[in-house]
Each structure stands twice: as C-alpha cells, then as structure tokens.
Amino acid sequence: MTVYRGFDQQELDREYSPSTRAADFDAELAAYAAESRRALRELPGHRELRYGPEEPELLDFFPAARTGAPLHVFVHGGFWQELGKEDSAFPALDLVPQGTAFAAVGYGLAPRWTVERIVEQTTSAVRWLVDHAAELGADPERIVLSGSSAGAHLAATALLDGRLRGRIRGAVLLSGVYDLEPVALSYVNQPLGLDPARAAALSPLRAGAAALAALPPVVLALGEHETDEFGRQQAEFARALREAGVPVHELLVGGRNHFDLVFDLGRTETVLGAAVEALWRS
C-alpha cells in the first residue's frame, strides 16, 4: 500500500534510514565521539554553559585565540532522539586553529521532549549565543549557524525566529529534513508522536515565502551517498528559498554520505569547507 509519494511503508522507512547508504555507520558515529573527546581535552573553552533553566539546556563553547573572531554554531542531528553536544565538538578541531570560535548546542531528546520544545530550546541557545557573543570574545556580526540532518531542521527553524532576523551572517544546512510530513509517516515518528497538523507547523518548507525571505545566505549540502528523499528535501527547500529571494549555494559533495559530510565543515580545502569560509566574506 502506498504511504507517501509512491513509497510503501518499507520503502519510506528505508528512505529515512540514511545509515543504509553509509559503508560503516557505527564507525562514523564512533569518530564523532572520539574526535569530540579530543576537542574537549585539547582545546580551551567554556564547558556546560547554561542557556536556559532546564537540565539539557547547555552548550560547549570553544573560543578562538583572538577576540572579535567569527563564531560557528553547530546543532547536531540524530532524528531529534539521539546524540548530544558531547558528540558534536569535533568541528572545533579544524575551526578554532583557523581563528573561528565554535559552539556545540545541546538540547533535550525525544520522547522525553517534544519536537516543539526541542525547537524552542535550540532557538533559545542560538539567541543566547548571539546576545553573549561579544562577552565570549566573538564578533556578534559574524555568526554562522549550521546543523546536520535533524540539526539542519532545527537550525532552519531557529532562523525563522523574528528575534534573530538580521543577526546571523549565514547558515550551513547539511542533509536536512525541511518537511516533516514523511517523517511523521515513517518509523522515525514512533518516539516523536507527530500528527499531520504538528508536522506541518514544524516544517520550515511550509513557512511561506514572507517568512523564508528573512533568512540569511544559506549553504545547502548533501552527500553523494544519500537516499532520494534527502535529495528531494534539499532540492525543494533550495527552490523555496530562491523563490523567497534568499541567496542559496547548493552542493552535492562527492564521496560523502549523511554522516561523514559534517567532517568537512571546517576543512577549507574541501568544497563544503570553502563554502563555509565564504560566508564570512559575504
């Protein structure tokens, strides 16, 4: 039986299982954790900075060596139910030595926390960092917000918050989910509990041109080894952003998959890293 866009249930579930296109999914997640531990061990910084009163509302901040540096804020993925900021510090290993401050955002996970509350937490974290950038030694005029997978959804949703309008220099959204309708019809929804109305309300793709027009320049990147649905999600969001007048740089990165693409964020010799660096000059 067709569930969504010609997919039956098994096919739709496979489309939202990006690990099926990764050669060694477990090794890549292990690398997130190992490299993040190294960043936490080797780089100076402020651990467990509290941006809100709830238990998971914490972030880790890694300053650059000089004050007034640009700030890169990263929101992890995990389908709103896995991973954490402790697995998300590894881009600092590349960015901080280049003179860019880095922050890894923590938030609550489903099923304890609803997607709505996770969105609120992420948005609050970004606002807190914007408000406190100068006292942390970063340049509040040069903040880039990035996210991977569900983190790309959360970053995109945060950018729709009117209080952040004009305060983010650019966004880098990797392998994102921008329409939650198919998510709500897939196995991913079991801990999320989304119904059609909530899925629609939480979808940046459905925010409308007027809301999307407030977004800063956006880099949208996808690995070569992704499912068709992740490719469609990116293509449709890119089209909606362009129709709203937002500058979009769309990338399909050869040799990368849903999980290892994020390792290129701070590597300026890669096509993604070069696009990220260009946002500081935009």
How high is the mean pLDDT in each 10-residue block of the chain (282 residues)?
96 97 91 97 95 98 96 98 97 97 98 98 98 97 98 98 96 98 98 98 98 97 97 98 98 97 97 95 70
CA-to-CA distance for 78 and 88, rounded, in angstroms?
11
- pLDDT at residue number 15: 98
Phi, psi dihedrals of residue 93, rounded to the nearest 5°: -60, -30
- pLDDT at residue number 280: 82
Number of domains, the chain: 1
**Residue pair 71/102 in contact by the 8 Å Cβ criterion:** yes
Neighbours of 48 (CB within 10 A): 10
Q: Give the domain range for residue 14.
A: 2-281
β-pair partners for 253:
223
- pLDDT at residue number 207: 98
- pLDDT at residue number 282: 65
3-state SS class at 63: coil
pTM > 0.95: yes
Q: Which amino acid is at 47?
A: R
CATH number of the domain within which 29 lies: 3.40.50.1820
